[in-house]
Amino acid sequence: MKVNLKFVALACLLTGLCSYNVAMSDMATYKIAVVNIPEVVAKSEQVKALKNEQVKKAQDLEKWLETVNADVKKQSTDANKQKLLKKYNDELMKKKEANSKEYAQKLTAIDANISKTIEEKAKAKGYGIVLSKSSVLYGGDDITAEIAKAVK
């Protein structure tokens, strides 16, 4: 009985070691790439266009606020001024919220586009793993330049 128990324990140990080696041999076959995401984002034409669009919207909002300020100053009574200020404050909040929502949607679309480009390039070059360069101290093939060129 003790011999059978020892045999079963030895068989389990050998099975565990064999499956560990198989798992480790699969890990060794992956090609690893790294991408400097902030560099890709900085070079992206989509991001530059979005920034320019936000600057233009901010300038338009400033012009609108100047018009609002002039309109409020024209009012003769404090009650009219307060009523107009409340109306314009509500309108300003709606504009800011709409701008923020639109900006977030566009930023999400740009992020998805960059991620898709990284995935496509990595698959085309046979990489099994792609990591952010900021989290890797050493190793991996840097494909940042290729990704930055492909992202529009």
d(CA 66, CA 63): 5
| Residue-level pLDDT at 131 | 94
Average pLDDT, the chain: 85
Q: Quick one: which of 96, 89, 88 has its CA closest to 54? A: 96
136: burial class by Cβ within 10 Å (0-12, 13-18, 19+)?
A: middle
Burial zone of 34 (CB within 10 Å; 0-12 exposed, 13-18 middle, 19+ buried): buried
Residue spans of the domains in the chain: they are: 1-27, 31-150
Residues 85-135 have pLDDT tens digits of 899 999 999 999 999 999 999 999 999 999 999 999 999 999 999 999 999
Contact assessment for residue 34 and residue 132, using Cβ atoms and an 8 Å cutoff: yes
Please check whether residue 122 is in contact with residue 147, taking contact to mean a CB–CB distance below 8 angstroms.
no
What's the CATH code, domain 31-150? 3.30.910.20
Q: What is the pTM of this model?
A: 0.69
Quickly count: other Cβ atoms within 10 Å of residue 130's Cβ.
21
Q: In terms of pLDDT, which residue wins out, 69 or 152?
A: 69
